[in-house]
Amino acid sequence: MPAGGWGTRFLPTTKAIPKEMLPLADKPMIQHVVEEAVASGIKQIIIVTSSGKSAIEDYFERNVELESMLQQKGEIELLEEVRRIAALANIRFVRQAEPRGLGHAILATRELVGDEPFAVFLPDDIFDAEPPLMKQMLEVYRQHQGSVIALRRVAKEDTRRYGMVKPQQVSERVYRILDMVEKPAPEEAPSDLAILGRYILTPEIFAALSVTPPGTGGEIQLTDGLALLLKQQAIYGYAFDGTYYDAGKPLGLLKASVSLGIRHPGIGADFREYLKKFFEESGG
């Protein structure tokens, strides 16, 4: 999980707080993503951080002082919740000296990942799916034994926000990727299928990334590394048609909060009631 970026779309908040720690309904955005990984059967997680991101490390580590305070006060439910977070998965941290792009963040995990396929979760892409999107993608990986990336159709004017692929359909939702390009202008996009923030990658991506020159924005782009890998092995795309939120920007986070909030087992009913009244009274 790369979490080393500046979070520029969430400035000024991200001047002091990592965007991955912003609350989505009742817990930090990154916890939702860690839970998606765990629900998909992934138990070893590497989070790539950079300076100014130590709140993420603190969050997933045990805090013995806090635990003993809660114990003394008899706050047993809270105590269990706080302990549960630290026990969610086996989480390791890698620090990037400077954020130099998604490809660079992935490359920083090379030694820890080793010679095995692995998954990438971009923490600000939030998917509302059952089974979880990564679980669906693992099924495609099992069938095709090649890298799998999440895809979704986007409007023509949005191509500059995403990696865009040239697809060849294999089955209803699965495509073989023929080419891909990072954040093209609409007239240069090879199709309307965009890359979203879930990937299953073969370890050969590391060698490809190590020779990938800086691309869009002067950063080492994962999309460019994948385009190199394409010359050597097949890469598949899985077109996801469920709900997706770009929670890395204020409007996306608000939308995701409403959607998860109204279904939350503890506060959902009250929140729904509040929204109903709010719109009735404001005439909206």
Closest CA to 37 of 122, 150, 107, 115: 122
- Smallest distance, ligand G1P to C-beta of residue 69, A: 38
Contact 70, 78 (CB under 8 A): yes
Given the complex with ligand G1P, which of 68 and 210 has the nearer CB atom? Answer: 210
Task: Please pick, from the candidates 28, 125, 136, 236, the single residue that binds ligand G1P as defined by CB under 6 A.
Answer: 125
- Smallest distance, ligand G1P to C-beta of residue 76, A: 39
The footprint of ligand G1P on residues 171-190 (CB under 6 A) is 182
Q: From CA 8, how far away is CA 203, in angstroms rounded?
A: 30
- Residue 28 as a binder of ligand G1P (CB under 6 A): the answer is no
Task: Please pick, from the candidates 105, 126, 165, 194, the single residue that binds ligand G1P as defined by CB under 6 A.
Answer: 194
Residue of this chain nearest to ligand G1P (CB atom): 163
**Window of 69-77, 113-121, 191-199, 265-273 that interacts with ligand G1P by CB under 6 A:** 191-199
The footprint of ligand G1P on residues 238-257 (CB under 6 A) is none
**Window of 19-27, 65-73, 140-148, 195-203 that interacts with ligand G1P by CB under 6 A:** 195-203
**Window of 22-30, 42-50, 74-82, 193-201 that interacts with ligand G1P by CB under 6 A:** 193-201
**Window of 55-63, 92-100, 108-116, 192-200 that interacts with ligand G1P by CB under 6 A:** 192-200
- Smallest distance, ligand G1P to C-beta of residue 132, A: 17
- Smallest distance, ligand G1P to C-beta of residue 102, A: 5
Residue ranges that bind ligand G1P, judged by CB under 6 A: 102, 122, 125, 162-163, 182, 194-197, 221-223
